[in-house]
A and B are shown apart, each in its own frame.
Chain A
Amino acid sequence: MSHELTWLLVAIPAVSAAILLLGGKATNAWGHLLGTAASLASFVCGVLLFVQMQGLHGEERSETVRLFEWFTVGSVKVDFTLLIDPLSILFVLLITGVGSLIHIYSIGYMEHDARRRRFFAYLNLFIAAMLLLVLAADYLLVFVGWEGVGLASYLLIGFWQHKNSAAVAAKKAFVVNRVGDIGLSLAVMSMWALFGSSAFTTVNSGAESMSSTWATLVGLMLLLAACGKSAQVPLQSWLLDAMEGPTPVSALIHAATMVTAGVYLVVRSHAIFEQSEAASTAVVIVGTVTALAGAIIGTAKDDIKKALAGSTMSQIGYMMLAAGLGPAGYVFAIFHLITHGFFKANMFLGAGSVMHGMNDDVNMRHYGALRTSMKVTFATFAFGYLAILGIPPFAGFFSKDKIIEAAFADNIVIGLCALLGAGITAFYMTRVMLMTFFGKKRWDDDVHPHESPKVMTIPLIILAALSLGGGALYFAGHWIEHWLEPVVGKHEEHHLPLPAIVMTLITLAVVAIGLLIAVLKYRRDIPREAPAGSPLTVLARRDLYGDALNEAVLMRPGQYLTRTLVWLDNRGVDGLVNGLAALFGGLSGRLRRFQTGFVRSYALSMVFGAAFVVVALLAVRLS
């Protein structure tokens, strides 16, 4: 494989971002075109690499590209090394492919924004950082990409910083992500301590000799990192607020790519998780809880983007669940990650298209009956909808069904939870669909919905096609299983309590029940103002009290702590310091009086000094 292509992947968007950021207003006219071209060029590189890889077999498909020695500190040496292998190439194609579509879409979506050039610079920065994250061959380099996407995410959530809510949301995302980042940095440091290096090769080969305690510790640190980046419970709170960013950002970063980095990290670190039952179980529990929590939150949101964000949390929960199941689940975690990337990006961009036609209103209670006025958007959104429900032959059917199967094979409780989640998913997605595209018009007076321009609808159509056809990765002879085998090991067949076909039918039945409940409930007229709702609805609207919990457990005690410290500082420390200063000042004032200005007293002090010196000498000698 070509070395140049590998580093060009990262370099092209990075250079483009630099040009757009440093070039300033001079690049305003063509900035969006350069940004899109950079993303497309990266995609072409990815495709070429993928094609080259087809000619190779097994282990040959993994290749490390050492670019230069990054730094050496004592015995720790870190190279700037990229790893191109079947896992990372899938991510490359997803990031650059979906990324390019979203770039194109953004040309239309951000057309009237004065800072469009800057927006594209940040998008390019994100693409570069995300590619570095998935191509790095060393955990420390992963960390660089990890922080890079965090930065891009922060900048883009707060892109409309003139809105206070956007600025606050960006800050929240930043702070919560720091908590996760501590996990990753601790993990990297532990690896240095344990293996003397954080390179994948060293860590993977050394993992077997780890003590189980260390494996659990490092696994939990990595899980903490994954929770932060992938908005998993308990670090989920930032994702819903992150919807303050422009919709293409929500589609690219907070649905299709960045938030799945946690899943990538867990799968990439499979060698460590396989050494620790406890850590793997923790991953499964986190995934299951988030899958349900996200789905429940999604049921009550009237903001179309927040409903989709809850759905994203939930779907990533599924991926986490699968990744925690070990060799039986890795492939499906990645598979679902890719199909989800297609259909969720599709739906987010669809939501963006709707907002575009509705004067940027996000409240679904102000929508209704849009299927006639926005035909393309409706049709493509419907593809995404069917995919996430898991209706065959849409992509989601293959990936989600497999995860539920694997969950059942592992543990009946987890399986039931996953199944329940699928039912709730059907409910809230049907709710979104009905509130937006069906029923009566509930529009504001000055709104005149219209279809979006071609530059926005064409990416929608492509993503809709992928939402339909993405399942081919699996049903075409279990291609993805074989493709990932060199990286995650041989796929383990699981032993189901029931025949697979029965499982599938049960799943479809649960999905149908969820769908029916939603149809029954939202077939009626929907009030423009949200009704009070049942306690359960309120619970879901309040994000399951996630923010309230954070406030009670972290924020308020933190504020009390800082207040106490300020008080202690003012009274205790300052008092001590001021007291000391006064003491020395007083002492100084006293000693100063000896400096009378009279030579006679100076001479006398010298005589006393001389007497002291001689007496001291004699005393030492005679004692």
Chain B
Amino acid sequence: MIGLILPAADFVAPKIEYTELMPMLVVFGAACVGVITEAFLPRALRHAAQLAITVVAIVVAGVLTGLLINDNKELIAAQGAISVDGPALFTWLILLALTLISVLLFAERSLDGGLSAFASQAAAVPGSEAEREGTAARIEHTEIFPLTLFAVGGMMLFASANDLLVLFVALEVFSLPLYLLCGLARRRRLISQEAAMKYFLLGAFASAFLLFGIALLYGYAGTMSLGGIADALAQDTGAESILLAGTGLIGVGLLFKVGAVPFHSWTPDVYQGAPTPVTGFMAACTKIAAFIGLMRVFYVALGGSRWDWAPMMWVVAILTMVVGSIVAITQTDVKRMLAYSSIAHAGFLLTAFVGLAQAGSGVSNGITSTQAVLFYLVAYGFSTIGAFAVVTLVRDAGGEATHLSRWAGLGKKSPLLAGIFAFFLLSFAGIPLTAGFTGKWAVFSAAWTGGAWPLVVVAVLSSLVAAFFYVRVIVLMFFSDLPTDAPDVALPGWQTTTAVALGLAATVILGLVPGPVLELAARAGEFIR
């Protein structure tokens, strides 16, 4: 966690601000406890114990974060490695809240004959005798809980990394558990394992770009710290081609995690293959962490050269919105459709990012880019987890029925479920009185005040295209006849019910009274250096 390795001769104990870093420490500590629990506790007790440890850790970390926000904490901690500022704390809070909901979905066991969505033995060959035995013995991989804690801890660190090396470490800390989680589906294990493999290979590939970019920037500035790079930029040392190449390669690594075009190709395959609760967790939390990391690097370290990278980002934003919206039209699988939808949403977020409406820059007296992005991420995160939670409930003999044709007439079979899903879709489409509308309004107005009005025009047109495929699903659910072999709507346990209810409540409340959260996002202020 300490980014700098000092010569042994004059070793000085690093100063660590334990109070400010406590939320992260609680999460990582609980993850370690989880690993130990896995080793020593009897199998029968593990599920309950792991769930309890995870939930308690997340709640405690959340409360601690809340206290820090309440104190308006703002400092660079751990010898310049971690910046605990408003946006970081806000991000921690939403990451913890969304993880809590995701963990509830992970713990759901009443949908598939008393078994969770995860494989009994990841090592067993799909379709083999060992797999059948494991299922019959009701074995579970309760490691998913500590893995989740490691992932969310890494995301928190990623969102607050003030040093490129810490950034890289955090990226790996949250990516590796995710690769594993993706491959753990109980049903359709081959596609799940394929997804994990693809994610791992492409993730490693992107990490290489990121690392090379970091090296180039170190070559340019002689330092890894974001503030130091900004200082070097201000002094203009002259090695511009190194700076630009470094900027570009770091951008590639971060945009990969965000899921921006042309680095998006992993998204549909992984979202489709991963166990649906994990997809929800990834779609919401990875996007949040990655986006905040992207903004921190480009605003804090590279803000001085923004006229160099802004045009490139414009093109990426436009490509992302357009490709995400258009390709989603012809998708036939709910999860793939939501994957392309998440790509389009990344594009909408990028408009605010490129809009660069910063409180300090004198551009804006309304909504700043940071505030808009934070709000959008909250709104999008809750709706996304809620939507994926609904997807887990539509099942037939082969597990989840994700092909869109299987959703025809669902509104007649279960009006409540279809109605809730329709509401999430309307929120994604940005229909007024939903969280999605307020979020879109916030990012578009930030982009507009930042002068990126052509982006806003493209974004609105893309939203129109996107509305088509969202509404198409609603039409399919409510205005088609129910086929005789329609899938069942499983009766959810309390875990999924709570998750859907929380997602729905947040989507409604943020649509009707967005004021408090917008206020909180505004209080988060800007990134510090």
B330–A606 touching, CB < 8 Å? no
Q: Is B263 an interface residue (CB 8 A)?
A: yes
Taking a contact as CB atoms closer than 8 A, the residue among B198, B265, B268 that contacts A606 in the complex is B265
Cβ-defined contact, A595 with B323, below 8 A: no
Are B326 and A599 closer than 8 Å at their CB atoms? no
Chain B residues contacting A584 (CB-CB under 8 Å) are 326, 329, 465, 468
Does the CB pair A617–B312 fall under 8 Å?
yes
Set B251, B326, B468: member contacting A591, Cβ < 8 A: B326
B248–A610 contact, CB under 8 A? yes
Q: Give complex CA distance A581, B465 in Å.
A: 9
A591, A595, A601, A609: most-surrounded residue (chain B CB, <10 A): A609
Given contacts A584-B465, A605-B265, A606-B256, contact A613 B248 (CB under 8 A): yes
Are A602's CB and B198's CB within 8 A? Answer: yes
A618 at the A/B interface (Cβ < 8 Å)?
yes
B199 nearest in chain A by CB position: A599
Most A CB atoms within 10 A — which of B308, B328, B329?
A: B329
Q: Which of chain B's residues have a CB closer than 8 A to the CB of A605? A: 262, 265
Chain A residue at smallest Cβ distance from B251? A613
Q: Is the CB of A587 within 8 A of B326?
A: yes
In the complex, residue of chain A having the shortest beta-carbon distance to the beta carbon of B241: A618
Known: A592-B330, A620-B312. A609 touches B244 (CB 8 A): no
**Which of B205, B265, B309 lies at the interface centre, i.e. has the most chain A CB atoms within 10 A of its CB?**
B265
Complex CA–CA separation, A617 to B312 (angstroms): 6
B266 within 8 Å of A (CB atoms)? yes
Least CB distance, B405 to chain A, in whole angstroms: 17
Chain B residues in 8 Å Cβ range of A413? none
Q: Mark A594-610, 1 if CB is under 8 A from B, else 0.
A: 11010101110110111
How far apart are B99's CB and chain A's nearest CB, in angstroms? 28
Nearest Cβ in chain B — how far from A469, in angstroms?
Answer: 64
CA distance A605 to B260 in the complex (A): 12
A587 contacts across to B, CB distance below 8 A:
326
Total A-B contacts with CB atoms under 8 angstroms apart: 88
**Residue interface bits A486-520, CB-to-B below 8 A is 1, else 0:** 00000000000000000000000000000000000
Q: Does A589 contact B (CB under 8 A)?
A: yes
Residue A576 at the chain B interface, CB threshold 8 Å: no
Give the chain A neighbours of B251 by CB distance below 8 A: 613
Nearest B residue to A616 via CB reads B312
List CB contacts (< 8 Å) of A563-585 with chain B.
Answer: 581, 584-585
Which of under 10, 10 to 19, 20 to 34, or 35 or more describes the interface residues of B? 35 or more
Known: A591-B326, A606-B205, A609-B262. Contact between A617 and B252, CB under 8 A? no
Residue A411 at the B interface, CB < 8 A? Answer: no
> What is the distance, in angstroms, from B443's C-beta to the closest C-beta of chain A?
22
Option from B198, B247, B329 in Cβ contact (under 8 Å) with A599: B198
Q: Given known contacts A588-B329, A612-B262, A613-B248, is B268 in contact with A595 (CB within 8 Å)? A: yes
A606 and B262 contact, Cβ closer than 8 Å, known pairs A585-B330, A617-B247: yes
Q: How far is the CA of A487 from the CA of B163 in the complex (A)?
A: 84
- The reply to whether A603 and B329 form a contact with Cβ atoms under 8 Å apart is no
Docked complex Cα distance between A588 and B311 (Å): 26
Query: In the assembled complex, how far is the CB of residue A597 from the closest CB belonging to chain B, in whole angstroms?
Result: 7
B312 to chain A, nearest CB (A): 4
Residues of chain A within 8 A (CB-CB) of B245 are: 614, 617-618
Interface status of A163 (Cβ within 8 A of chain B)? no
Residue pair A610, B209 in contact (C-beta under 8 Å): yes
In the assembled complex, A621 has its CB within 8 A of some CB on chain B:
yes
* A597 nearest CB neighbor, chain B only: B269
Q: How far apart are the CA atoms of A254 and B397 in the complex, in Å?
A: 70
Taking a contact as CB atoms under 8 Å apart, the answer to whether A608 and B248 are in contact is no
* Cβ–Cβ < 8 Å partners of A617 in chain B: 244-245, 247-248, 308-309, 312
Residues of A within 8 A of B329 (CB): 584-585, 588
Pairwise interchain contact B202-A610, C-beta atoms closer than 8 A: no
> B198, B240, B316: which contacts A621 (Cβ < 8 A)?
B240
In the assembled complex, the CB of B315 is this many whole angstroms from the nearest CB of chain A, namely 7
- The verdict on B447 contacting chain A, using a C-beta distance below 8 Å, is no
- Residues of chain B with a CB closer than 8 A to A621's CB: 240, 244, 308
Query: When chains A and B are docked, how far (Å) is the Cα of A599 from the Cα of B194?
Result: 10
Least Cβ–Cβ distance between A618 and chain B, in angstroms: 6
A394 to chain B, nearest CB (A): 65
B245 (CB) vs chain A CBs: closest residue:
A614
Contact with A along B224-254 (1 / 0, CB 8 A): 0000000000000000110011011101100
Give the CA-CA distance A597 to B241 in the complex, in Å: 35
Given A588-B329, A606-B205, A621-B308, decide whether A614 and B265 contact each other with a Cβ distance below 8 A. Answer: no
Q: Which residues of A contact B465 (CB under 8 A)?
A: 584
B327 at the interface (CB under 8 A from A): yes
Q: Does B125 contact A (CB under 8 A)?
A: no
| Distance between B497 CB and nearest chain A CB, rounded to angstroms | 35
Smallest beta-carbon distance B423→chain A, Å: 24
Query: Known: A599-B202, A605-B262, A608-B262. Is A620-B311 also a contact (CB below 8 A)?
Result: yes
Cα(A617)–Cα(B306), bound, Å = 11
Mask, B296-314, CB within 8 Å of A = 1, is 0000000000011101100
> How far is A610 from B468 in the complex, measured between Cα atoms in Å?
31
Identify A589's interface contact among B269, B330, B468, CB under 8 A.
B330
In whole Å, how far is A604's beta carbon from the nearest beta carbon of chain B?
10
Please encode chain B, from 157 to 201, with 1 for each CB lying within 8 Å of some chain A CB and 0 for all others: 000000000000000000000000000000000000000011001
Interchain CB contact under 8 A, A592 and B244: no
Interface centre among B249, B252, B465 (most CB of A within 10 A): B252
- Contacting residue for B266 out of A581, A602, A614, A616, CB 8 A: A602
Residues of chain B with a CB closer than 8 A to A609's CB: 252, 262-263
B249 to nearest A CB, angstroms? 7
Contacts of A585 in B (CB 8 A): 329-330
B8 to chain A minimum Cβ distance, whole angstroms, is: 38
Distance in angstroms from B287 CB to nearest chain A CB is: 18
Q: Which residue of A has the minimal Cβ distance to B323?
A: A591
What is the CA–CA distance of A581 and B209 in the complex, to the nearest angstrom?
A: 38
Complex interface: chain A residues within 8 A of B321 (CB):
none
Taking a contact as CB atoms under 8 Å apart, the answer to whether B202 and A602 are in contact is yes
The answer to whether the Cβ of B206 comes within 8 Å of any Cβ in the partner chain is: yes
Q: How far is the CB of B482 from chain A (nearest CB, A)?
A: 26
- A606 contacts B327, CB within 8 Å? no
Chain B: minimal CB distance from A504 (Å): 69
Q: A581-B468, A592-B330, A610-B249 are in contact. Are A616 and B201 (CB under 8 A)?
A: no
Chain B residues near A595 (CB-CB < 8 A): 265, 268-269, 327
Q: B250: shortest Cβ distance to chain A, in Å?
A: 10
Given the known A-B contacts A585-B329, A621-B308, are A613 and B268 also in contact in the complex, defined by CB atoms under 8 Å? no
Sample 17 A-B pairs with CB under 8 A, ordered by A number. A581-B468, A584-B329, A584-B465, A588-B326, A591-B327, A592-B330, A602-B198, A602-B202, A602-B266, A606-B252, A606-B262, A610-B209, A610-B248, A617-B312, A620-B307, A620-B312, A621-B240
Nearest first, the 6 closest Cβ-Cβ pairs linking A and B are A609-B262, A614-B248, A602-B265, A588-B329, A588-B330, A616-B312
* Chain A residues with a Cβ under 8 A of chain B: 581, 584-585, 587-589, 591-592, 594-595, 597, 599, 601-603, 605-606, 608-610, 612-614, 616-618, 620-621
Residues of B within 8 A of A (CB): 197-198, 201-202, 205-206, 209, 240-241, 244-245, 247-249, 251-252, 256, 262-263, 265-266, 268-269, 307-309, 311-312, 315-316, 323, 326-330, 465, 468
